[in-house]
Structure 1
Amino acid sequence: MTLNELHRVVEQGRLQRLSLLSHEGGLYLVEARFDGKVVLLHDEAGQQVWHFRSLDQARRALKELPWPSIDLVHQNVADEACVGEPLSEAASHGAMRLRLPLRP
Structure 2
Amino acid sequence: MNLQTLTERAANSEVRELELLSLEGGFYLARIRLDQGQFTLLDDAAKPMHLRSITHLRDLLQTVPAFPCVLVQQCVHDEMCGRDSGPVEELRIPFSLTAPL
Instruction: Tell me if TM exceeds 0.5.
Output: yes
SS at structure 2 position matched to 1:48: coil
Structure having the higher strand fraction is 1
1:44 positional shift:
2.9
Aligned sequence identity (%): 33
- Structure 2 partner of 1:55: 54
Q: CA RMSD in A?
A: 2.1
Shift of 1:6: 0.4
Gaps of 5+ in 1: 82-86
Deviations 1:48-84 (A, max 9, x none): 1100111111111111110144211102336889xxx
CA distance in 1, matches of 2:60, 2:30: 11
Contact kept? 1:68, 1:103, Cα under 8 Å: no
CA distance in 1, matches of 2:98, 2:33: 19
Q: Does 1:76 align with 2:71?
A: no
- With over 3 angstroms needed to count, the CA separation of the structure-2 counterparts of 1:53 and 1:68, relative to structure 1, is same
Q: What amino acid is aligned across from residue 25 of structure 1 in structure 2? A: G
Which residue does 1:100 correspond to in 2?
95
Distance 1:68 1:13 in 2: 8
TM-score by structure 2 length? 0.80
1:27 aligns with 2:27: yes
Letter in 2 for 1:5: T
Unpaired segments of 5 or more residues in structure 2? 81-85
Match of 1:42 in 2: 42
How far apart, CA to CA, are the structure 2 residues paired with 1:89 and 1:50?
Answer: 27
- Under a length normalisation based on structure 1, what TM-score does the superposition of the two structures give? 0.78
